[in-house]
Structure 1
């Protein structure tokens, strides 16, 4: 059986195994991807924030200075865990919805971010257009995905590997990959494809990052050396230009 989107997290065993894996010591999500994402996000003081594919909403704890936080996730299990995590925080809410069907309000957010969720969506172009329209002028869109050298190959063992296969790179499209005992569907895109869709959606791309590992974040020299061999993550920081608003006034 192949799981699409957030469907895998509705399987209780998969969900529990994922949560243990996600928050384990030396998780690359925690010590490689998240520091890079937070650096790109920067100061959120007084900002209205939308978190797409929020999972258990643990990122809200990193963004306490935000004026408001809304998390969206397609998994009921994730939303239940997120509600527990946010129970003591004001101006914090989560909604159970797929990202494709979420009704993006127009020009509502200062910051929209997504953490390792958008490579599960088939139509990246449409989600970028929705995000662009939902940002205020001058607002930021920051996101991370699995690096295309990871998603590229049709062959994947799903286990801890001594070496990586980089193949089929320019064959953009669906990949079914073994992960935590199940098969999950992802969508491979090249770096160029991500860049062009973002630019054609109207975004100004401020920064691209491959999340170079920082030795200070690792407890093991062996793990640090292993993570220096290949990039796991690709991150973009984009902006909805203010000039579009100024041009509309002048017109």
Structure 2
């Protein structure tokens, strides 16, 4: 997993500005889709993997969770979470989300928003998530869409001489690391095909309950017209997995 990227002060500031924009893709599209896929949280224990500054942790309490554990690798993120979203029912840990055995705790629900594409060993990560879930527990996660992570130089939109726009897909069946520019920094992510994602989930002992590639409604496009291109190439992939017996 990419280490300490969000502890870079310039990157962190750029990221915070992006997330605080009311018209950003996370707020308008990814988060509504993710929360719609959650199981009922009333009375449940929830693990937030890559919790950032803790807004989602507080949202899970609002949805009825009894307790939430938020983990993130960034010291800056955890400090911001403890400042913005402190609650006696939320515990934050600054730790790698691939080291879940250190928590020594079982959860009913695990959630991860746009973090798993930073994981190099996806099989080991899913096994670790499965090991900390109660039998029948649920893991819901979002990631950058495989069509987004596929091109080695990052996503590119092209146009024909007539002005028609199209997405330049390449490298889809070449999984592995991708180093792409984002927020004035080079960011390392990992590309996996749909079949690799789904087969890894099955090997880890999960069954697929739902998969979404969310697109905006008319009101969302009105707020942010750039999101019209989601109908040509979606930005996000979301899965809900159910844990079987160990």
TM-score, normalisation: structure 1 = 0.88
Instruction: Indicate the residue corresponding to 1:223 in structure 2.
Output: 226
Secondary structure, counterpart of 2:101 in structure 1? coil
Counterpart Cα distance in 2 of 1:177 and 1:205: 30
How big is each residue's C-alpha offset from its partner over 1:68-115, in whole Å with a ceiling of 9 and x where there is no partner? 00000000000000111222x221011000112343556710000100
Instruction: Indicate the residue corresponding to 1:143 in structure 2.
Output: 141
Matches within 5 A, 1:127-142: 127-142=125-140
Does residue 99 in structure 1 map to residue 97 in structure 2? Answer: yes
Secondary structure, counterpart of 1:61 in structure 2? helix
Deviation of the 1:182 alpha carbon? 0.7
Which of 1, 4, 7 is equivalent to 2:4? 7
Matches within 5 A, 1:1-251: 5-64=2-61, 65-87=64-86, 89-103=87-101, 105=103, 108-156=106-154, 163-220=166-223, 222-241=225-244, 244=245
**8 A contact 2:157–2:166 mirrored in 1:** no
- The answer for unaligned runs of 5 or more in structure 1 is 246-251
Counterpart Cα distance in 2 of 1:69 and 1:221: 32
Deviation of the 1:229 alpha carbon? 2.1
Counterpart Cα distance in 2 of 1:101 and 1:175: 23
Counterpart Cα distance in 2 of 1:109 and 1:70: 9
Task: Give the 3 Å change call, closer, same or farther, for CA 159–102 of structure 1 in structure 2.
Answer: farther
Deviation of the 1:7 alpha carbon? 1.9
**8 A contact 2:156–2:168 mirrored in 1:** no
**8 A contact 1:54–1:72 mirrored in 2:** yes
Counterpart Cα distance in 2 of 1:178 and 1:61: 31
- Across the aligned residues of Structure 1 and Structure 2, the Cα RMSD in angstroms comes to 2.1
Counterpart Cα distance in 2 of 1:157 and 1:114: 22
How many residue pairs are counted as aligned between the two chains? 239
TM-score, normalisation: structure 2 = 0.90
**8 A contact 1:177–1:183 mirrored in 2:** yes
- The answer for unaligned runs of 5 or more in structure 2 is 160-164
